């Protein structure tokens, strides 16, 4: 299953990659793989912007505008004039995040 085409904000700078393999390890959608000692991006459309790769890259080679792809959170954000908020209000919310 893949989500919308070419929307993910994932960017990668191969020149900063040291080949530690952390991104390959943490990505739950197999976006990264190792090729001749460096990470390479396979199918970007599989990226869910969880941010695990960027968070665990000690060399700043990966950037992603991380967040949770949850419509309720985005609507919450619009209504409150804030960033998308996963706070479903405790008693109401859908399965969103919690």
Partner 1 sequence: MKILNTIDPAQSLKPLQGGGACCGPVLSMSGGAAMRSCPYKGGYPEWVTDEITTAEGPVPVAATVLTTAEKFAHLRARLTNFRMRFSIEPGLYAVGSPDRSSDIFISANYTMSFDILRASLHGMNAWILVIDTGGINVWCAAGKGTFGTEELVKRINGERIAMLVNHRKIIVPQLGAPGVSAGQVKKRTGFRVLYGPVRAEDIPTYIENGYTASPAMRRIRFTMKDRLVLTPMELNPAMKKLPYLIFAVLLVFGLKPEGIMFRDAAAGAAPFAAGAVGALITGAFLTPVLLPFIPFRSFALKGWLLGMAVFLLMITHVPLFMFESNYLTAVTLVFFPLLSSYLALQFTGASTYTNLSGVKKELKYGLPVYIGGTVISFLLLAAYKIHEWGIL
Residues 6+ apart with CB under 8 A from 67: 49, 51, 73, 84
3-state secondary structure at position 80: helix
Residue 34 found at the interface with partner 1 (CB under 8 A): no
Residue 96 found at the interface with partner 1 (CB under 8 A): yes
Q: For the segment 71-90, give every residue that binds partner 1 (CB under 8 A).
A: 71-75, 78, 84, 86, 90
Out of 26, 34, 38, 40, the only residue in the binding site for partner 1 (CB under 8 A) is: 26
Residue 27, CA distances (Å) to 52, 56, 89, 93 in order: 7, 10, 29, 27
Which tokens belong to 84? 């998308």
Q: Which is nearer to partner 1, 38 or 68 (CB)?
A: 68
Q: How far apart are CB 15 and partner 1 at their closest, in Å? A: 19
Out of 30, 35, 43, 82, the only residue in the binding site for partner 1 (CB under 8 A) is: 30
């Amino acid at each position: 299953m893949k989500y919308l085409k070419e929307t993910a904000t994932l960017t990668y700078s191969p020149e900063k990659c040291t080949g530690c393999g952390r991104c390959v390890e943490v990505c739950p959608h197999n976006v990264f793989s190792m090729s001749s000692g460096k990470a390479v991006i396979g199918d970007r459309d599989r990226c869910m912007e969880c941010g695990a790769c960027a968070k665990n890259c000690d060399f700043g080679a990966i950037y992603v505008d991380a967040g949770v792809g949850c419509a309720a959170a985005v609507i919450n954000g619009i209504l409150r004039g804030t960033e998308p908020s996963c706070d479903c209000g405790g008693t109401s919310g859908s399965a969103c995040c919690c």
